[in-house]
Amino acid sequence: MKRCGLLTLTTLWVLNLWTLTGCASGGTSSGPAGAGRATGPGAVASSGGSDHQAAIDFDAQVAAIKEKTGDGSTDFGDVAARMEFVVQKHPRYALAWYNLGVAYEETGRPKEAEGAYSRAFEANPSLREAQENLAVMAMRAGRNAEALQMLRGLVERDPAAAQARAVLAMQAVGEGDLDTAVRLSEEALTYAPTNLTAYCVLAQVALEQKDLLRARLVAAQGLKIEKDVACLHYALGMVASAESDRGGALNEFERAVASDPKRIDARFHIAEISLGYKDFRKAIDNYRAIVEVDPKNLAAFVNLGVAYKGSGQFEDAEKAYLRAIEVAGSQPAPEAHYNLGVLYLRNMRRLDDARDQLKRYLQLAESSSDDVFKMLEEIDQLKAMAEEEKRMEAEMARQEEIDRKLAEEEAKKAKASEAAAPAEGEGAPPAEGGPGADAGGASGAEDNQGEASEPQTDPEPKAQEPSKKTGKKRRKSRNRKPPAAEPLPRAEDAGFD
């Protein structure tokens, strides 16, 4: 289980090499010997202490570890506990200190690991694997000058220090010195033909030179030595990507991450391919894994925002972009401002914030496209439209209030009219002898019109029906007998002859 890749090389030999040439006893010692920076068991074999009992105790713990790793997995917490037991009894036993350092690294305790490697090197300066691991840990901590000095000194003292050469070769690749990288890697393979770090460097150089066939051949050769090597699967993924085989590339990058979950470069490619497939969930998972390993990774936060936006999680996208700007600090982060501005404009309708972010992008970007200026013009137009719409809404609201008040006034007037109408209809009848009190005249008029006139009504709106008393008089008038006719005067009586 070797972890190959730039500056991540620690491996416990207990996983692969069980039989080592004996120590002080002159026999064989079966057990864990060191980290992946080590080039082979021979160097460790000579590091045994002079304490015969220390070798016996060490062998006993190794046997227990071997029994527990029968299923192929290693409990590094258990390894650490067993090696701690040995070094407590035998503080000058270099192999125990060395493997304790490996166990500490695997359990995420880098400071303790560095201390254990230092104790191993002090106990046995010929244990070059301890110094190689110390150099790589110094590189991880950013102390490159110190690390390179240690490795170069080791190569000068020990031509067989294959792993030191391989690490120096990786450093040469980073500096762009590909010829030196190839030379050091080939020298490392001369002393240690199974050195996987050297294979990784050669594959990387082939990729840099765009020699895809050679990169594939080197990676395939290394994977014959061990099938799960992160850097070699990564190289094959890059070859497939260059050949536009996105499916094959994704498969190789995922195998690289399975071998080394902290392989950031492979995760970037997985996330990028996943975005192309619109698999936003996978992209988000990989970008989040990157920022967990490297909390200051600006590109990962920006791309995480893109993935969140694609999945419709706009608030999370905003947080990712703002985190990218925070991580950038005093350094320019134009892409974060641009993406945040577009998010505010297109998805969150926060026009003022969008304008601020896009203007900030123009300040920081080395060059800009017309799209940004068009978006700024669009923001101005949208703001003007929004203000006009707001004004119209206010006018409509004012008119609605006026209409409401008018309707209320009309309703009040109508209600007052309804209340006044019955009050006028309930007035007292006219007094006797007054206007309209002449029953005879009234009855005579009605008698002349007959009964057919009764259904007719007065066209005046306030006309009243006859009172009951008036009605009785009318009935009496109709029932009265007409007076008897008087006899006409005779002619004699009138004085005629």
Nearest-angstrom CA–CA distance, 151 and 199: 19
Q: Identify the weakest region by mean pLDDT among 167-176, 255-264, 408-417, 423-432.
A: 423-432
Q: Which of 186, 127, 187 is nearest to 159 (CA)?
A: 187
Confidence of residue 425 (pLDDT cuts 50, 70, 90): low
- Domains of the chain, CATH where assigned: 1-158 (1.25.40.10)
Q: Which of 175, 19, 50, 197 is nearest to 123 (CA)?
A: 50
Nearest-angstrom CA–CA distance, 295 and 316: 17
DSSP 312: T
Nearest-angstrom CA–CA distance, 464 and 452: 19
Tell me if the pTM is above 0.85.
Answer: no
Name the percent of the chain lying above pLDDT 70. Answer: 74
Strands 19-21 and 28-30: antiparallel
pLDDT digit string, tens, across residues 140-153: 888 999 999 999 99
pLDDT digit string, tens, across residues 200-213: 999 999 999 999 99
Contacts of 133 (CB under 8 A, 6+ apart): 9, 10, 34, 35, 37, 101, 102, 105, 113, 117
